[in-house]
Structures are given as structure tokens and as C-alpha cells.
Amino acid sequence: MDSEAGSNTTGGGGSQTPPPELGGSHHKNYLFRHLLRALLLFTMVTVACLVIFQPSSAVTPFKFIPRSIYSFSFSNATTSRAPRGNEKLGLKQILKRAAMPDKTVIITTLNEAWIEPNSIFDLFLESFKIGNQTLWLLKHLVVVALDQRAFDHCLKTHLHCYFLTTEGVNFSEEAHFMTPDYLKMMWTRIDFLRIVLQRGYNFVFTDADIMWLRNPFPHFYSDTNFQISCDSFGGNPSDLNNAPNGGFNYVKSNNQTIEFYKFWYKSREYYPGKHDQDVLNKIKYDPFVRRLD
């Protein structure tokens, strides 16, 4: 072994420094220094490669080396920054994006109480996807969110979301039938639909517990401005004795319907404690409504 070591150190021209004797402390220090240099070099090269060559879709294994200044904020865009931005778009932009060629939109409302996993709202959206030629209608649906969490949830599931805020009112919790919050929610809806009409848009309003398994548009009367579902129907669509149900209606935008919705909303003051459906049953006989034809 010694003779081989000696021949190796002298055969290269005598320029190399002979290594220390095998098994000595100097030899151990020599190996440790070279191992440390190699490890340091390897670490520097590895980190450099991660920074320069990492793919855009990869997850950075070192959290202290972000891919870009947007790497963490972008992943939360749909739950924090985007809602605020979409809220600023305003109703005008939302309606324009969602409208059919004849300026018709489909509208429903949503609050936090209806966004649990496998909720009725999830079934509502699913019905458009599995119904008979109803999938295309989804792109014309405007979801009117009544609180921030509902708005955030809407943005994850649908493109057209509008955040309707009412000062001093919290619509996030479930509003039980005929409670003050329930009445405020119903009348807020009526006033919002009036605004939609004033902006020149026709609408189909639908509660989120209605399944859209067929396209209703071929079944609407083409010469009628206001059509509404009924709890009881006697066979004559023009009979005022039919009992209307506000959960589903189709309204065309014109001066008649705009004035009618103004009158409907104003009438809540004359029938305190009544919800919109009960008030409609009262005012449908009013001479003002008859004059509107």
C-alpha cells in the first residue's frame, strides 16, 4: 500500500502535495474539509437551479423562495381579492355580461345559510347541468348574494355574481318565515327587481329551491308582460282569483312593469307585516293596477 501511494505522488511531475498518512488525524481533517466544500457547492447549485428552472405550476419546496411576488396572493384571488373587485363592477356590468340577446337574465338570491356543502343551492346549479337542454341557461344566471360569504361562494361556482348590500341589515343567517329579517329580505328582492327592469332588462326570477330540469321559455306567453307561478290555478291564466307565488316569475321591462313594481314595493307601507306575496294578492284588484293594464 505504501509503495503504491509513493508512486502515485511522484509520477505526476512532483507538483502535488502528498496526502497525510492514512489513519492519522491530519487525514481526517483533510477529508472533512473536502466533504464540507463539496456539500456547500452542491447546496448552492441546487438552490440556484430551483430558483431559475422551477416550472410555473410547481409547488416551491422552500417556502422562503416564492416563485414570484404574486405567488401566494394569486391562489387566494377567488376568496379574498376577487370578491371586492367584482363587487365594484356594479350591476350594469353584471347584467350586460349575463344577458341573452333580447336582454333577458335569470336571477336568484343567495345567503350564507344556503351555501353548506350539498346544499339546495348546489342542487339548483346541478339541475341546469343535468336537465333537458338547460345547461346553456347557466351562463345567463345572475346570483344575487346577500352577504360576503355567499358572494365568495358564488364566485367559486358561477361567473355572474352580484353583491347586494342593505345598510343596517344582516342577511347572512337563515331568515325564518314571516320574521322581520324574512320580510326585509323579500322586500329588498322586490326593490332590486324593480331596478333591473329600470335598467332595461327582462328577467326570470327563480327561488334557489326550484329545479331547472326543462327550459321554461317556450312555455311563456309572448304577449304578456308579467307572468308568475301560482299556488292554485283555475285554468284561466288571466283570472285574478289565481293565487300567485313569488318564487318564480317572468317579467318584461317596460313602463307598465316598472310602475307596477314601484307600486308593489310602495304598498308594503299600507300592509305592514305582510310579505310581498300577500301584498300582491291585495293589490292585484287595485284600480291602479287595472289602469296599468
Please give the class, per CATH, of domain 85-292: alpha beta
Element (H, E) at 109: strand 104-110
User: Is it the case that residue 235 has pLDDT exceeding 50?
Assistant: yes
Average pLDDT over residues 232-243: 92
Q: Between these two residues, 189 and 74, which has the higher pLDDT value?
A: 189
Residue 225 makes CB contacts below 8 A (sequence gap 6+) with: 251, 252, 254, 256, 257
Every domain of the chain and the residues it spans: 26-72, 85-292
Burial 114-142 (b: 16+ CB within 10 A, else e): bbeeeeebbebbebbeeeeebeebbebbb
Residue 76 pLDDT = 26
Full-model pTM? 0.68
Phi then psi for residue 135, to 5 deg, are -60, -40
Which of 30-44, 97-111, 234-248, 263-277 shows the lowest per-residue confidence on average (mean pLDDT)?
30-44
Average pLDDT over residues 203-213: 96
Residue 17 pLDDT = 47
The grid cell for 80 is 379574498
User: Is it the case that residue 210 has pLDDT exceeding 70?
Assistant: yes
Residue 226 pLDDT = 96
Q: Between these two residues, 73 and 195, which has the higher pLDDT value?
A: 195
Residue 168 pLDDT = 52
